[in-house]
Amino acid sequence: MSANGAGGAADGAGGLAAAISGRGAVGHSGGMPGWEAVIGLEVHCELSTETKLFCGCRNRFGDEPNTSICPVCLGLPGSLPVLNSRAVELAMRIGAALHCEVRPSVFHRKNYFYPDMPKDYQISQYDEPINVGGYLELPDGASVGIVRAHLEEDTGKTTHVGEGGRIAEAEYSLVDYNRAGVPLVEIVSEPDIRSSAQARMYVGELRAVLIATGASDGRMEEGSLRVDANISVRRSGDQELGTRCEVKNLNSLRSLARAVDFEIERQRHVLESGGIVAQETRHWNEATSKTTSLRSKEEAFDYRYFQEPDLVPVIPSEQWQSDVIAGMGPMPAERRIRLARALGAGDGEALDPALYDQVVTAVELGLDVLVLDAIQLGADPKTALSRSVNEIAANIASVSRLSAVSFERLVTLERSGKLSATQAKAVLSEMLARGGDPVQIAQEKGFEALESDQLADAVKDVIDSRPEEWKRFTAGDEKVVQFLVGQVMKATRGKADGKAVVAELERLLAISQAPRAEVQQS
């Protein structure tokens, strides 16, 4: 993430984060002198409800095709939708997390024909959405405005078999209706984004917010988050917006960034050669790394919206709203501030940028609570943060095996010098693999006697009794290592682990030569 990714986005909310990050929202300079890109994103987020939006079918990714369906989500004649209140709660949480106003809302029908749309209309919210106005604060201190975040149902999933993967060229198409009726919240941003990097940062941050609210699992690879980008370019300093194109089919952060870059370049090229950008919907083709025209403005669908007569307005009571929001944890922006403060930032004092990046990563990965708890128990903040964004992050799926108590013990063992960095990493990896207490694991690994200090005592005794050999060892004579190990083995009657003795010797060596230790640790 680059500092200049922060654009001319709305300011104000970003102030504190900006101070803590030590960066602040700076104007975009980008790689396109004389031009500015204006980007707004529409993010579709599948909600993590047990059941679908309007029926009792299971909402789960990866089921056998067409097994999680019923008359309602298949749109069979005579069936009627009934709103899932859990979806409304999650939508309200998203609204609260994005600082939106939660309003009474109604559903509309968005009419268009497509084989994966069971009713050939989508039940969505139109001019009276549940959440309006708001903003999302990015890690770099910028703030992107939120126009609305509304509820709607997902469509089925079509697989076109044959040329090109699009319906017009397909030999035949297969439709899976398991996804039909899955609840979505569509989050529409203001056109506050100025670069592909910032677009990426926005989606990354939004994803973290959605996970933090419990609304989504955030799995882009499973389609839990899908992004459409509205992109236009204009001459730097122009106030009027250029003609925009909507780019669809962005299924990963990487696709998003590449498509945005491609589209900016394409439009700039059109304008620079005196052409006019046509307002149209474009399709991102991953294979060719190009966007191609899907339909022009003239071919755009007339969705013939009208209020859904099968549903009644949603008017959440104050009580319901506050209950729902009360159950919510802090959002990433707040968590970053909290963690940064635990690391010493605050009162106008900024963190070192590299350290702030670690803070951002820890919050992104949801490791901030573990780190903060460990710090609370007495762990050294920087060591805890470093271990979390490196070793734990590398094995994030196993993080549940780690308690704050055991993590703190590990960090303190390392920090107090009872474990070398290498040993600490080995013990941590074992803790992640099968759980357990760091002291015990260290003993099993032969990093023994750390609690009883037996091994350390034995090594110390040997060193004290053999100053000559120790001196040779510190001077780099590797041949003497075996001798020292042998002495320790003898003294402990073979209980000591050879590797552990070597590690202890190296640890003592490191302590005696502090500058070298830093090098080893990195």
- Where does this chain bind other proteins (CB under 8 A)? 71, 74-83, 109, 111, 113, 115, 118-121, 167-168, 173, 175, 302, 304-306, 309-312
User: Of 46 and 408, which CB lies nearer to Zn ion in the complex structure?
Assistant: 46
Using CB under 5 A as the binding rule, whether residue 73 contacts Zn ion is answered as yes
Instruction: Give the pair of three-digit tokens for residue 194.
Output: 């100025």
Tell me which of Zn ion, other proteins, none is bound by residue 73, counting a contact when its beta carbon lies within the kind-specific cut-off of 5 to 8 angstroms.
Zn ion
Shortest distance, position 104 Cβ to other proteins, whole Å: 16
514-521 and 421-434 helices cross at what angle (nearest 10)? 40
Spatial separation of the C-alpha atoms in residues 411 and 505, rounded to whole Å:
20
How many CA atoms lie less than 13 Å away from 349 in the CB half-sphere?
8
DSSP 462: H
Shortest distance, position 66 Cβ to other proteins, whole Å: 10
Give residues with Cβ within 8 angstroms of 119, minimum separation 6. Answer: 75
Shortest distance, position 132 Cβ to other proteins, whole Å: 22
Tell me which of Zn ion, other proteins, none is bound by residue 328, counting a contact when its beta carbon lies within the kind-specific cut-off of 5 to 8 angstroms.
none
Instruction: Give the pair of three-digit tokens for residue 2.
Output: 């680059």
Burial group, residue 496, by CB count within 10 angstroms (0-12, 13-18, 19+): buried
User: Of 305 and 483, which CB lies nearer to other proteins in the complex structure?
Assistant: 305
- Start-to-end CA distance of the chain, whole Å, equals 22
Tell me which of other proteins, Zn ion, none is bound by residue 104, counting a contact when its beta carbon lies within the kind-specific cut-off of 5 to 8 angstroms.
none
378: left (phi over 0), alpha (psi -120 to 50) or beta: left
Contact region for Zn ion (CB under 5 A) — 73-81, 104-112, 350-358, 428-436?
Answer: 73-81
Tell me which of Zn ion, other proteins, none is bound by residue 57, counting a contact when its beta carbon lies within the kind-specific cut-off of 5 to 8 angstroms.
Zn ion
Shortest distance, position 152 Cβ to other proteins, whole Å: 16
Shortest distance, position 81 Cβ to Zn ion, whole Å: 10
Tell me which of Zn ion, other proteins, none is bound by residue 311, counting a contact when its beta carbon lies within the kind-specific cut-off of 5 to 8 angstroms.
other proteins
Spatial separation of the C-alpha atoms in residues 448 and 433, rounded to whole Å:
20
Are 169 and 25 in contact by the 8 Å Cβ rule? The answer is no
User: Of 124 and 406, which CB lies nearer to other proteins in the complex structure?
Assistant: 124
Spatial separation of the C-alpha atoms in residues 387 and 390, rounded to whole Å:
5
Shortest distance, position 173 Cβ to Zn ion, whole Å: 21
Shortest distance, position 152 Cβ to Zn ion, whole Å: 16
* Nearest C-alpha neighbor of 147 from the set 214, 98, 87, 75: 98
Shortest distance, position 159 Cβ to Zn ion, whole Å: 20
Q: Locate all alpha helices (DSSP H) within 416-478, ordered by sequence.
A: 421-434, 438-444, 454-465, 467-474
Are 18 and 167 in contact by the 8 Å Cβ rule? The answer is no
Are 444 and 409 in contact by the 8 Å Cβ rule? The answer is no
Contact region for Zn ion (CB under 5 A) — 62-70, 170-178, 296-304, 496-504?
Answer: 62-70
Tell me which of Zn ion, other proteins, none is bound by residue 76, counting a contact when its beta carbon lies within the kind-specific cut-off of 5 to 8 angstroms.
other proteins
Shortest distance, position 105 Cβ to other proteins, whole Å: 14
Among 70, 365, 393, 491, binds Zn ion (CB under 5 A): 70
Are 87 and 151 in contact by the 8 Å Cβ rule? The answer is yes
Tell me the number of residues near Zn ion by CB under 5 A: 5
Using CB under 5 A as the binding rule, whether residue 489 contacts Zn ion is answered as no
Give residues with Cβ within 8 angstroms of 299, minimum separation 6. Answer: none
Using CB under 5 A as the binding rule, whether residue 55 contacts Zn ion is answered as yes
Spatial separation of the C-alpha atoms in residues 74 and 108, rounded to whole Å:
18
Contact region for Zn ion (CB under 5 A) — 8-16, 57-65, 234-242, 332-340?
Answer: 57-65
Among 39, 45, 57, 385, binds Zn ion (CB under 5 A): 57
List residues binding Zn ion (CB under 5 A).
Answer: 55, 57, 70, 72-73
